[in-house]
Structure 1
Amino acid sequence: MKDLLFLLADLWMIFAGFFFGWKFIRNYRNYLLGLEWMIVATSGTNFLIWALTGGHDGSVLYSIAYFFDAFSRSVGITLILVMGLMRVTHRYKPSVVVDAAAFGLAIAAGLYLQQFRAPALHVGPATFYVVVNVLTTLFLVYFSWRLWRIGAKGLAVGAGLATAAASAIAITYDFFPIPGDDAHRTIFYSAALAVWGTQMCVYYFAYRAAHDHNVATGVEPAAHAQSTARL
């Protein structure tokens, strides 16, 4: 039952990442969020294959999993997430060069930080992950407040709860192992994958509500109008 819950949570995160990532790109041309969502889904796919093929620590998939984990925890679901959401909060539209630089930074961070692996606790990197998560959470609280102000109160509450759950996962990740969990931390990862998938789903609908409000108030043109203008 524990393994089944882990697999279901991972499949949920994979679906949410690929599905809503593609919708970010197709509907809003938001490549920062779209590609990051798909990277998280790719990470989940790698994690799933690794688990189904035995979960050996010496597998190359194990190293890839640590790279993806460091990629998103350091820059992906922190800086890139904030930059992507600023499209609807501050009308911030970075250039292709800035987009590429953000992902380049995430790759560099992932390559460097993936060396700090369990079961040892690496206090420096673990603290860094918590700090960048706290800073991101502050922006996400502001994002939820913006949703509340425009009347999307249900999504504001949903985004707030998803953010709170993700923050709890981030703090628990390195510093507070779940008592009774196994060596591969199956219980923890089941909860984490479920939360991360829910985050990506809720943030997409929250983004859509903020975008629609901006269009309705004339702050931003409709998505189809933007596409026509580019053509």
Structure 2
Amino acid sequence: MKDLLFMLADLWMMFAGFYFGWLFIRRYNNYLLGLEWIVVATSGTNFLLWALLSGDEGNVLYDIAYFFDAFSRSIGITLILVMGLMRVTHRYKPSVAVDVGVFALATGAGLYLQQFRGHELHVGPATFYVVVNVLTTVFLVYFSWRLWKIGAKRLAVAAGLATAAASVIAITYDFFPIPGDDEHRTLFYIAALTTWGVQMCVYYLAYRALHNHNVAIGAEPASKEPSVVRA
């Protein structure tokens, strides 16, 4: 049952990442969020293949999984996420050079953090992950407030709850293993993958609501959506 729940959670995250990532690019030309969502989905795909085909930490798929994990925890679902959401909160649209640069930075961080792996706790990197998550959470609280302010109260609550759940996952990740979990941390990953999928879904819907509000007040041009959905 645990293995089945793990696979369902991973498939959910993969769907959310690929689908909403494609929508970010197709409808809003937001390559920061679109590509990061796709990176997360690709990470989930690799993780599922590793679990099904090997489960051996010496397998190359595990190396790739660790890289993707470090990529998103360090820069992806932190700096890239904030920069991407600022498109609708501050009408910030970075240049192609900035887009490429921030993904190069995330790649470098993922490669560098590869050395801190294994079952033992590496306090420095683990603390870094928590700190950047807390800083990102501060912005996401502001993002939820902006949703509330335009009247999208349900989305504001959903975004706030998704952010809170993700923060719990980030803190639990290295410092507080779930009691009774197995050596592969199956229970943790069921919760984490489910939460990350919900995050990507909710943040897309929240982004769409803020974008539509900005279009309605003339702050930015309409997207490529077939019709504008009211917040």
Band of TM-score, shorter chain = over 0.9
Equivalent runs, 1:84-163 vs 2, <5 Å:
84-163=84-163
Residues 147-176 of structure 1 show CA distances to partners (whole Å, capped at 9, x for unaligned) of 000000000000000000000000000000
Confirm or deny that 1:18 pairs with 2:21.
no
Distance 2:16 2:121 in 1: 30
Per the TM alignment, residue 115 of structure 1 is displaced from its structure 2 partner at its CA by: 1.8
User: Which amino acid letter does the alignment assign opposite residue 130 of structure 2?
Assistant: V
Gaps of 5+ in 2: 226-231
Q: What is the root-mean-square deviation in Å for CA atoms of aligned residues?
A: 0.9
Distance 2:85 2:152 in 1: 16
Equivalent pairs, count: 225
Per the TM alignment, residue 90 of structure 1 is displaced from its structure 2 partner at its CA by: 0.1
Please report the TM-score for the alignment, with normalisation by the length of structure 1: 0.96
Confirm or deny that 1:187 pairs with 2:190.
no
Gaps of 5+ in 1: 226-231
Percent of paired sites with the same residue: 80
User: Which amino acid letter does the alignment assign opposite residue 10 of structure 1?
Assistant: D
Distance 1:154 1:117 in 2: 39
Equivalent runs, 1:63-74 vs 2, <5 Å:
63-74=63-74
Distance 1:59 1:52 in 2: 12
Please report the TM-score for the alignment, with normalisation by the length of structure 2: 0.96
| 1:38 counterpart residue number | 38
Q: Which moved more, 1:52-61 or 1:37-46?
A: 52-61
SS of 2:115's equivalent? Answer: coil
Residues 149-206 of structure 1 show CA distances to partners (whole Å, capped at 9, x for unaligned) of 0000000000000000000000000000001101110000110000000000000000
Per the TM alignment, residue 114 of structure 1 is displaced from its structure 2 partner at its CA by: 1.9
Query: Is 2:26–2:224's contact at 8 Å kept on the other side of the alignment?
Result: no
Per the TM alignment, residue 117 of structure 1 is displaced from its structure 2 partner at its CA by: 1.2
User: Which amino acid letter does the alignment assign opposite residue 152 of structure 1?
Assistant: A
SS of 1:40's equivalent? Answer: helix
Distance 1:154 1:94 in 2: 29
| 2:201 counterpart residue number | 201
Confirm or deny that 1:220 pairs with 2:220.
yes
Structure 1 runs of 4+ aligned residues shifted over 6 Å read none
Confirm or deny that 1:211 pairs with 2:211.
yes
